[in-house]
Structure 1
Amino acid sequence: MSGTSPQLSVFFFSSVDTGPSADRYDFVLRTTVLAEQLGFSAVWLPERHFHTFGGLYPNPAVLASALAVRTERIALRAGSVVAPLHHPARIAEDWAMVDALSNGRAGLSLATGWNPGDFVLGRGSFDDRRESTFATVDTLRALWSRAEVTFPVSGKPVPVRTYPAPVSSDLPLWLTATSGPATYQEAARRGCRVLTGYLQQEPAAVAANIREYRDTYQPYRPGDQPWVTLMMHTCVAADRATAMATVAGPMLAYQRQFLGLGDRALRTAGEEELTEDEKQALARYAAYRYAAECGLIGGRAEVTARLAELAATGVDEVACLVDYGLPDDVVRDTLHRLAEISGRVTAV
């Protein structure tokens, strides 16, 4: 555990609908530089394909490389690499380059994937994605440690050692867990950290899964420390009323865009899509849920208390999702206020 308040990092996951791509990448660069100046521990970059929601991020390693040459201290993490879509050797090569460019600041979370349409890129089947992801953990660690790993090619074993050699001896590795306890347990057994959120989990379920992860971790990894990163929609304003009013419109639009991504998954699976009325009702519910119940949204007092509550439930790090349509100045002020709350600076 990290003490009375979790570490703070920044999470990106914007839609291409929020503005021209060049402007949005510039926003990521500027926000990352500011986050480093304010003492945030890391930035997280997602992987998303074939849809406007998250469409700025088809390859987190490419963007992390750009951030590496603009920063000096802040950790650069994938949240997440969809492991079944990539050969483990390619993941090792890409992120070793990020590690070299950043002088040892790379880290990544592996996700199983959930959208069948993404698997046009995949090496395996959608149905085998969990087993593929968990196997990638072991293979990636071996490659990162400079071991030679054998892969089959046309029925014959081919030994591979990847290059370049990473700067860091150990790769900080998370598993992304967004639903039931099974992935938390797998992360514990494999000695991985956990990246989670309230996407498909209520706060009580997340707290229970975190407890189970920590309880399971120690027997498998005595002496090592488990680590839980929680992604949260974030906005810190002068007071709670101002924060809620600020996020209302952007949050509703963001959730509506997310439901469009769900439509794509339903079409791929051959299932019936939601009606427009159903989508709007779900978007309103989700926007309210994240703003009022599952977000890090409020004034300094509310956010400070919320961070203390999260630390007590076993959260080591809060990854603050800030690019869900908020104006740039609101994001900037939010990061300054969070830095003040965490004791890193003394004034906004």
Structure 2
Amino acid sequence: MPVTVVRFNLVAPGASPAALGARYRAALEMAGYADAHGISTVQTEEHHGAENNWLPSPFTFAGAVLGATSRLAVTVSAVIGPLHDPLRLAEDIAVLDLLSGGRLVTVAGIGYRPQEYTRAGVDWKRRGRLQDELLETLLAAWTGEEFTYRGRTVRVTPRPCTEPHPLLLVGGSSPAAARRAARLGLPFFPSAHLPELEAYYKERLVEYGTEGWVMMPAAETPLLHLAEDPDRAWATYGEHFLHEARTYTSWQSAEIRSAVRSAATDVRGLRDEGVYRILTPDECVAQGLDNLVLHPLAGGMPVEEGWRSLRLFCENVLPRLTV
């Protein structure tokens, strides 16, 4: 059975607080509907200070989604590790793990926007060392035992329920990220389809004598929207996808490798590229994808159109997916 994901970043350019509130509540209702229809995962992410209102608090949102659902996993992909207080993050994840019965998945990356570090007063040049400290602290904290943190003895309670600890993956597209994951015996989540990086990670596992595994995006990992008339949907809503694609492009430097990377400058180019796809239910099934990532509220998409896409997916695609 393919993995099915509903992605939310709550982008809404120019939205008022009232409109944003309605959008957030709609996302929770969508998550509940997705859960009831057998969707595997809700995915969310973290960015700060974006003019288009990109979600800055993924664990707050994750907690709300976990409270509105009973079966699906919620993946934070990715938390920008060095921007967080390690002890507080350990507590927050432990509490969410307990509340959800282990349904929270955290992918820890280091981010790619120096301005987010400047905003937080965190030294961009220290991001690798800060990420090491964060991951090491999380693993020590979740044992429930005392450990040394920045020269003092501390203990984090409560302990999470998941053994040996809540699911924590190291994200990234660099050898440093793969090496960090292998050294700590944590699974690795490349940010794109990078077989050479997977091989490098496995070599480092042998070097460090640790165990781990890779969760890597497929060669094709498009963001999907369902519509009965894709031509009309592209004409009406294509600018929402283009806004998100152009935002990503403006943030990502040349060395960043991402499964969501577009060179398109207009809606026609974006459609031809295939990173974002608007499909009929029949076309969606025919794609034969191992991972289907639905993005119902992409780029400020009207909520009612997001609902149409989600319902088409759950009612006309999910029942037809093969095991």
- Uncovered stretches (5+) of structure 2, i.e. residues with no partner: 254-261
Deviation at 1:33, TM superposition (A): 0.9
Deviation at 1:142, TM superposition (A): 2.1
Q: What SS class does the counterpart of residue 79 from structure 1 fall into?
A: strand
Give the aligned partner of residue 199 of structure 2. 212
Count of matched residue positions in the alignment of Structure 1 and Structure 2: 304
2:43 is the counterpart of 1:44: yes
- 1:175 counterpart letter in structure 2: V
Q: Distance in 2 between matches of 1:292 and 1:128?
A: 36
2:275 is the counterpart of 1:326: no
What percentage of residue pairs aligned between the two structures are identical? 24
Q: What SS class does the counterpart of residue 40 from structure 1 fall into?
A: coil
- Uncovered stretches (5+) of structure 1, i.e. residues with no partner: 198-205, 266-280, 312-316
| Cα contact 1:84–1:123 (8 A) shared by 2 | no
Q: What SS class does the counterpart of residue 8 from structure 1 fall into?
A: strand
Q: Distance in 2 between matches of 1:319 and 1:147?
A: 39
| Cα contact 1:8–1:41 (8 A) shared by 2 | yes
Deviation at 1:288, TM superposition (A): 2.9
| Cα contact 2:107–2:171 (8 A) shared by 1 | yes
Select which of 14, 18, 29 maps to 2:10.
14
Select which of 210, 228, 232 maps to 2:216.
228
* RMSD (Å) for aligned C-alpha atoms: 3.5
Q: Distance in 2 between matches of 1:28 and 1:74?
A: 14
Give the aligned partner of residue 341 of structure 1. 317
Measured against aligned partners, the alpha-carbon deviations of 1:269-320 in whole angstroms (never above 9, x if no partner) come to xxxxxxxxxxxx9662587347632234323344334343xx4xxxxx4543
TM-score with structure 1 length normalisation? Answer: 0.73
Give the aligned partner of residue 96 of structure 1. 94
Deviation at 1:236, TM superposition (A): 2.1
Give the aligned partner of residue 166 of structure 2. 171
Give the aligned partner of residue 284 of structure 1. 265
After superposition, the Cα gap between the structure-2 partners of 1:159 and 1:146, relative to the gap in structure 1 and judged at 3 Å, is same
Q: Distance in 2 between matches of 1:287 and 1:12?
A: 24
TM-score with structure 2 length normalisation? Answer: 0.77
- 2:214 counterpart letter in structure 1: P
- 1:234 counterpart letter in structure 2: L
After superposition, the Cα gap between the structure-2 partners of 1:255 and 1:212, relative to the gap in structure 1 and judged at 3 Å, is same
Q: Distance in 2 between matches of 1:332 and 1:344?
A: 20
Correspondence list, 1:1-348, <5 A = 6-17=2-13, 19=15, 20-53=19-52, 55-120=53-118, 122=120, 124-152=122-150, 157-169=151-163, 170-177=165-172, 179-180=173-174, 182-184=176-178, 186-187=180-181, 190-194=185-189, 196-197=191-192, 206-209=193-196, 212=199, 216=203, 219=206, 225-229=213-217, 232-238=222-228, 240-242=230-232, 244-258=234-248, 284=265, 288-289=269-270, 292-308=273-289, 311=290, 317-324=291-298, 325-339=300-314, 340-343=316-319
